[in-house]
Amino acid sequence: MDPEKTAQENKGLSLLKAGRKGVLSIVFSRTAIIVLLLALQVLALFGVFRWFGDFLPHIFGGTVLFSVAMVLYLLNSRLDASAKLTWLLVITLLPVFGALMYLFTQSDLGHRTLRNRAADMMEQTKDLLTTPAGTMERLEQQAPGAASLARYLDRCGSFPVYENTAVTYFPLGEKKFEELLRQLEQAERFIFLEYFIVDEGLMWGRILEILARKAAQGVDVRMMYDGTCELSTLPRDYPKRLRKLGIRCKPFAPIAPFVSTHYNYRDHRKILVIDGHTAFTGGVNLADEYINRIVKHGHWKDTAVMLQGEAARSFTLMFLQMWNLDEKTPDFSIVSEIPAAASPKAKGFVIPYGDCPVDADHVGEQVYIDILNRAQRYVHIMSPYLILDGELESALTFAAKRGVDVRLILPGIPDKSFPYALAFTHYPALLDAGVKIGEYTPGFVHAKVFVSDDAEAVVGTINLDYRSLYLHFECAAYLRDVPCIPQIQEDFEDTWSKCRMVTRESIRKGSFSRWLCGVVLKPLAPLM
């Protein structure tokens, strides 16, 4: 039976009534109430700041000293250089308001508990998974540079290196969807899902139909999605509706009517694990635009990978770490119960890894920089956004200046105007260094892919922007010498052939409003 044809004939389960997204439903929804209450709190904060501002004429000298102190503090802080410049600008222009806003964002107000709990989860689970005996030695012999990266990932997040893992690459969300349906049908023990966006439609309906049926058969089905879905795609009681189907569900950090820095940290991961031996990750969320069932920004170009074998264990643990963040008695016993026989023989090395925004390591960015620094022939990249800090821009330009073929594929039809404008500001420096940039003319690129030298690749959820690199929970799979890497490179070349090339001349002839918007917003990019 053709899965695609079946999906078209059967839209699966739906727990929401049609028309739920109308104007009136939004006006009288919980979302509107939250927005109103947050707005009132923001106005109250501005009132406090303005009260301080009224006294500025009388305490000008104190303000100057205060600003100087804040500048010295910032220069000696552990913020990256781009963020320092942003805050220096804000504090210089608005001394009291800017300083108070900075102190508020750095106060850990609202996420101190999250940070401590995440650290506790990592401590509890650091010894649950280890690199199999002999694997690191074989990687060291074959690729010393990759081995050094592996040691970094193990030290920063206890992410083991695996062999015996078959990797399947999906060049489109539609391809992932077809295989995902087949794999879900084979689940016997558990199905874990963790996604940034979930929206009812054909994709989620067909998946939900299988999940409900598997839950009724006794399979442990758990679902997590980011709390921002409650403001856009799903009602607050959606977990309760899923629980009626036997599916355990919880949103991550649901939005509440209280001003907090906690909302900055979102769960941007896409993980689906079946029985501990099969795992999916990549850019594809559970909504119909990701499989081109509906059109939002032209053709939606996305990618994903399926891991079958030992490496799926790490994605199992990553899911459970997030699931247990708010559990009184964390339970990770499932990880140790995964049968060892689930691992097929396969070539190459695989390292699933995650990035936590509340620790000191920016793992996602460091992996990208390491690949750029070790590349000899090429690094080819797909990303929906390009909002770079100084370190990553330097790594891109340095690689190109060394003679490495560095190419970037970005959207031709953006989903958001501000990131599109900010990407424009990076073009001149990258082009001058020799980086080639293509914009995907058929539509929107949502893929997050690095592929280098026919030898290594990363497929995951990590965009080239501040939010992914600094503020989101993310995940990815690092691949070394696995058989599908040539397919990833072939897909890049095929996508590249559908791009319009960015040149100095095209920049000069480009939209003045886009350029102006990017120039104005760039100093504030780390805050967006």
Instruction: Residue 462: give the domain boundaries.
Output: 363-527
Task: Render pLDDT for 262-305 as a digit per residue (tens, 0 to 9).
Answer: 457 899 999 999 999 999 999 999 999 999 999 999 999 999 99
Are 221 and 281 members of one domain? Answer: yes
**Neighbour-count burial for 288-321, b at 16+ CB within 10 Å, e otherwise:** bbbbbbeeebebbbbbbbbbbbbbbbbbbbbbbb
pLDDT of residue 343: 54
Q: Is residue 12 part of a domain?
A: no
pLDDT of residue 111: 64
As a whole number of Å, the end-to-end CA separation of the chain is: 46
Q: Cα–Cα distances in Å, from 137 out to 24, 142, 279, 454, 478?
A: 62, 9, 25, 22, 18
Are 306 and 429 members of one domain? Answer: no
Q: Is residue 505 part of a domain?
A: yes
Angle between helices 390-401 and 363-374 (to 10 degrees): 10
Are 281 and 136 members of one domain? Answer: yes
pLDDT of residue 87: 73
pLDDT of residue 258: 47
Are 426 and 489 members of one domain? Answer: yes
pLDDT of residue 7: 42
Question: Is residue 191 a contact partner of residue 276, using CB atoms and an 8 Å limit?
Answer: no
Q: Is residue 18 part of a domain?
A: no
Are 258 and 307 members of one domain? Answer: yes
- With a cut of 50, list the residues of the chain below it in pLDDT: 1-8, 20-28, 258-262
pLDDT of residue 10: 74
> CA nearest 150: which of 462, 450, 370?
370
Domain boundary among 105, 129, 160: 105
Are 329 and 367 members of one domain? Answer: no
Give the count of beta carbons closer than 10 Å to the beta carbon of residue 233.
21
Are 215 and 335 members of one domain? Answer: yes
> CA nearest 379: which of 358, 402, 360, 363?
402
**Both tokens assigned to 300:** 């939606």
Q: What's the predicted TM-score (pTM) here?
A: 0.87
Q: Enumerate residues 6+ apart whose C-beta is below 8 A from 408.
A: 381, 382, 383, 386, 396, 430, 435, 436, 437, 438
Q: Is residue 9 part of a domain?
A: no
CATH code for the domain in which residue 203 is found: 3.30.870.10
Are 279 and 160 members of one domain? Answer: yes
Are 235 and 292 members of one domain? Answer: yes
Q: How many domains does the chain have?
A: 3
Domain boundary among 321, 350, 379: 350
Are 71 and 122 members of one domain? Answer: no
Are 339 and 200 members of one domain? Answer: yes
Are 97 and 204 members of one domain? Answer: no
